[in-house]
Amino acid sequence: MALLLPNNKKFAFTIIDDTDNGTVENTKPVYDYLYEKGIITTKTVWVYPSRDKFTGGFLQDEGYLKFILDLKDKGYEIALHNVGSGSFSRKEIIEGIEIFNKLIGYYPKMQINHASNPDNIYWGIERYNSIVKLIVKILFGDKRSYYGNKENSDYFWGDVCKEKIKYIRNLVFNDINTYKIDKKMPYLIKNKSIYSNYWFSSSDAHTVEEFNHLVNPKNIDQLVRENGICIVYTHFASGFVDKNGDLDSVFKKNIDYLSKKNGWFVPASILLDYMQSQRKDEYASSFYLNKLEIKWLLDRIVKKIRFGR
């Protein structure tokens, strides 16, 4: 059964932009076009400069901060992608979240765990609840450990996460209708409830190629027909803008098509707040989480075959 949306909207659509390698130059044209079309979304940020292989803007850079504050003033949600890329101590993390609040004007409502940051919350193999945990180890060889929720670690900030952060992104899927795959989101996970609140799913569109494959007229029509809810997870720095500063033409056409539909285009946390308000809080069952994880694994295999990623 479809979720009734405000103002008789037929569907809901939003985007979470992962800040990896993102700069003003390679993401601003995307936001300019989205704003022109009335599509308001969520932008993740780092507070500190990167300490590893990733590049990109950060809040302590004056020019980048100006860009982010302009987005905030236009209604875009500013969310956290950890305080930076690489290793940051508990002290730096806590200070970074306070810096975020001082510069942005509010605490981040959403945390997106970043790559192999040791301060990720309930991440890596610990993320899974089923046999998928073993399969992921075998197929992907992910043996990394994460310590954001480990009390004795130098990277522990789970208490702050529980207090400040409402939503954490979990699994991603290939279907444009995220809600069709995960009808319980945002949900609570009992064995992760000490240092986290709500978890949610999203639709995977890592690069511009994958975004255009997901958000095309045929799939948009499907989303409208199903009165669906789509939370796209993507990286605007991954090919959306070329070296000349021009925005991908297929992306523009797809967004133009989308914007003409009767959709509710709001930041991810506003959408999740609304979804949460429509049901009683409950823990997702082991059966439900297992089903999601198996679906995620199958989708990952398809994505690997289709895009080599």
pTM recorded for the entire structure = 0.97
Q: Tens digit of pLDDT for each residue in 133-171?
A: 887 777 766 667 899 999 999 999 999 999 999 999 999
Here the tokens at position 189 are 């996970």
Supply 231's token pair: 């939370």
- Quick check: 75 pLDDT over 90? yes
Instruction: Give the residue carrying structure tokens 């569109």.
Output: 205
Mean pLDDT value across residues 29-52: 98
Query: What CATH number is given for 6-307 in this structure?
Result: 3.20.20
pLDDT digits (tens, 9 = 90+) for 99-117: 999 999 999 999 999 998 9
| pLDDT of the residue at 141 | 67
- Which of 202, 221, 227, 218 shows the shortest CA–CA distance to 9? 227
Chain segment 182-217, per-residue pLDDT in tens? 999 999 999 999 999 999 999 999 999 999 999 999
Q: How far apart are CA 166 and CA 164, in angstroms?
A: 7
Q: What pLDDT was estimated at residue 189?
A: 97
pLDDT at site 246: 97
Domain map of the chain by residue range?
6-307
Do residues 293 and 201 make contact, with C-beta atoms less than 8 angstroms apart? Answer: no
Map tokens 């000490």 to a residue. Answer: 194
- pLDDT score at 287: 93
Sign of CA dihedral 95, 97, 103, 106: negative
